[in-house]
Every structure is written in structure tokens, then in C-alpha cells.
Amino acid sequence: MRSSPSIGPTDRLDREIYLVLEDFGAQAGCAWRETDEQDTDRETVLRDIISGQYAYPLRIVAFNAAEGWSRDATEDIANAPADLV
């Protein structure tokens, strides 16, 4: 069987990526925040939450596309000590 070529560089995907679901209020609703690829690591997301970049984060999802897994990381991020950043 012939394998398909990758649609992107897989080495960039072989890491934990964190995305934040934010509540923008009754008028706008909830949406996954758009972010630059280099800002999707755990430390940056934690730092952005602490610094107020997110007003009402509802859920944080971590995933690794190369390994094929995802998980709810909301509690992990909420309980992370601020001095880890």
C-alpha cells in the first residue's frame, strides 16, 4: 500500500499544544482563541492567563497530533503554581 505524503512538517506537531476556549459574553458567545503557533505551549498559555490576556477562559485542551491524543487540561492549568512560568 502506498502511503500519502504528509500535509505539513510533522516535527512541529510532535509536541503538546494547548488551546483556550473563551467566553466572550452573551452577544458574542464562546470561541477557541486564535493564536500563533509558537504561543500554544503550556508555559505561554499559563503566562497569558496570569497576565490577563484571557478574560473568561472556560476550557483548555491539550493535544499532540503526532501521537494522536488529546485531553482536558483545564484543571492542570488552573492548579499550576504561578511561579512555574
Model pLDDT for residues 47-83, shown as the tens digit of each residue: 999 999 999 999 999 999 999 999 999 999 999 876 6
Predicted local confidence at residue 80, as pLDDT = 87
Q: What is the pLDDT of residue 3?
A: 65
| Radius of gyration of the chain measured on its C-alpha atoms | 15
Bridge partners (DSSP) of residue 22 are 31, 57
Give the model's pLDDT for residue 13.
66
Q: What is the pLDDT of residues 3-30, one digit of tens each?
A: 666 555 556 668 999 999 999 998 999 9
- Per domain, the residue ranges of the chain are 15-80
* Own/partner pairs, 39-42, CB within 8 angstroms, 24+ separation: 41/15, 41/16, 41/17, 42/16, 42/18, 42/73, 42/77
CA separation for the pair 24, 16 (Å, rounded): 25
